[in-house]
Amino acid sequence: MAIELCVIDYSSPNYNNVLSLRQRVLREPLGLNLFDEDLREDRDQYIIIAKDENDVVACLMLKILDKDTVKIRQMAVDHTRQGMGYGHTLIKYAENFCILNEYSSIELHARKTAIPFYEKSGYTSIGDEFTEVGIPHIKMIKHLQ
């Protein structure tokens, strides 16, 4: 796996590729359209992408919650790349980015089907199950060193 990882913002030429990936992976399977949503908050978030050649094959958003905590949002790995380590590589990169920027914890809302993936990376479930975008989720957290 020879991928390039980097942080972009919404003004990057790669941002439209990120939107397309999020639509394909996160919204289309639910019968939803990402472009019907208010995407303005993307402007205030870090966007981490994994590129293979010139293709954006994985992404996640980092939303700053406070001086210590960041929230991972909208993590997506292209269907053809799932199960190949892209997701774990992206998570590790995001965690290192947070440590370098002096954040001490990361939280996220995991789709119920993704809980084992996040547990393998050291995230812990907290609270009760809730519904988001019409499907079950659980809040998860990881304290960074």
Task: Copy the structure tokens of residue 2.
Answer: 């020879």
Q: To the nearest whole number, what is the mean pLDDT of the chain?
A: 95
Alpha carbon distance 82, 55 (integer Å): 15
pLDDT tens sequence across 33-90: 999 999 999 999 999 999 998 899 999 999 999 999 999 999 999 999 999 999 999 9
Number of domains in the chain: 1
Model confidence at 1: pLDDT above 70: no
The residue type of 85 is G
The answer to whether residue 78 sits within a structural domain is: yes
* Residue ranges making up the domain that contains 51: 4-106
> pLDDT class for 105, splitting at 50, 70, 90?
very high
The answer to whether residue 55 sits within a structural domain is: yes
Model confidence at 106: pLDDT above 70: yes
Number of H helices, E strands in the chain: 3, 7
